Amino acid sequence: MTAMLTEPGRPDAAVPRVYRVASRREETHDTVTLELAVDDEPLPVFAPGQFAMLTAFGVGEVPISLSGVVDSGDGRARLLVHTLRAVGAVTRALHATRPGGVVGVRGPFGTAWDVGSAAGSDIVVAAGGIGLAPLRPVVRALIADRARYGRVILLVGARTPADLLYRDELRRWGGQGIEVAVTVDRPDGGWSGHVGVVTTLIPHVGIDPANTAAFVCGPDIMMRFTAQELIARGVPATRVRVSLERNMRCGAGWCGHCQLGPLLICRDGPVVDYGRAEPLMSIREL
């Protein structure tokens, strides 16, 4: 089980710090990666899997997982990397922010992927769509400490080739000891790769279930079927970790907006093992 790393009692947990957009890279037609540099006192460093509450001043606040973790060496987060899709008023405003613009940041909140606890195992990282963004720090952590792990298999799915994130990095990771397999739901005329959902890649990777840990992020249905496929092949549910998303408001378990059964996702998640998530994800009303 991942550790709860939020500090809800911190006096300044509800006060955004001002970060400035240092760079902006368009990933797809509706998705950008923002690098945020601190203008003020930096926040504590984020662990892979944790999230920040990002404020578009004058518009609102949304939870966004970290897609890049930068530790300046003093335990402070002077540079944050977020990949976000424009799907609502706040994310559209953040998406439109140009270098030099300011963003409010609160955090770190939530549980982490706890990558180090899987040392010595083979690793399956399965991402669907924007779910690759919270898993990017996992892949980078595995590459940085590659000798501690067995096989590392990255399975990536997207709706179309144009919706794939981090295309240059996917190519680089393939040369850094990562087995990369990519699939799309709807190919275009130039696509020569695999077609189908992420789960259709699993039979081709030949995992050793007794020695495998998995990190999974994407739409709920993708996570459910990916986890079930891995478990059906013998991977214990407690060794399959998923990142849950709900309507988080306070970030510290105070308001109850993100309740999922007995869990408050901003406090008890977003990363949980599938043994805890499965009975909750199977009830659509929760």
Question: CATH number, domain at 184?
Answer: 3.40.50.80
Q: Is residue 269 part of a domain?
A: no
Provide the residue range defining the domain that includes 130.
115-243
Of the residues 109, 125, 152, the one at which a domain ends: 109
Q: Are residues 190 and 124 in the same domain?
A: yes
| CATH number of residue 53's parent domain | 2.40.30.10
Rounded to 5°, angle at Cα 227 from 30 and 267: 70
pLDDT of residue 101: 97
pLDDT of residue 285: 54
**22 in the same domain as 129:** no
Determine the Cα–Cα distance for residues 110 and 244; give it in Å rounded to an integer.
11
Report pLDDT for 39. Answer: 75
Q: Are 53 and 158 in a shared domain?
A: no
Predicted confidence (pLDDT) per residue in 163-198, tens digit: 999 999 999 999 999 999 999 999 998 899 999 999
Task: Select from 109, 140, 163 the last residue of a domain.
Answer: 109
* Bond from prior residue into 108 cis (ω within 30 degrees of 0): yes
Q: Count how many Cα atoms sit within 13 Å of the Cα of residue 270 in the half-sphere of its side chain.
A: 29
Q: Is residue 168 part of a domain?
A: yes
- Is residue 261 in some structural domain? no
- pLDDT for position 8: 47
Question: How does pLDDT run across 80-102, given as a tens digit for each residue?
Answer: 999 999 999 999 999 999 999 99
Nearest by Cα to 229 from 210, 214, 245: 214
Least Cα distance to 128 among 192, 202, 188, 190 occurs for 202
Q: Backbone phi, then psi, for 182, in 5-degree steps?
A: -125, 140
Q: CA Rg, the chain, in Å?
A: 18
**Is residue 238 domain-shared with residue 141, that is, in the same domain?**
yes
For residue 215, what are the β-bridge partners?
A: 125, 241
- One domain, residues 47 and 128: no
33: which 2 tokens? 């990666």
DSSP characters for the chain? ---B---TT-TTTTSPEEEEEEEEEE-SSSEEEEEEEESSSPEEPPPTT-EEEEEETTTEEEEEE-SEEE--SSSEESEEEEEEE--SHHHHHHHHPPTT-EEEEEEEESB---GGGGTTSEEEEEEEGGGHHHHHHHHHHHHHTGGG-S-EEEEEEESSGGG-S-HHHHHHHHTTT-EEEEEESS--TT--SEES-GGGGGGGT---GGGEEEEEESSHHHHHHHHHHHHHTT--GGGEEEE-----SSSSSSS-TTEETTEEHHHH-SEEEHHHHHHHHT-TT-
- 26 lies in the same domain as 75: yes
Q: Specify if 5 maps to a domain.
A: no
Per-block mean pLDDT, blocks of 10 residues, the chain (286 long): 46 82 97 92 93 96 91 84 96 98 95 96 97 97 96 97 96 95 94 94 93 96 96 96 86 86 91 93 66
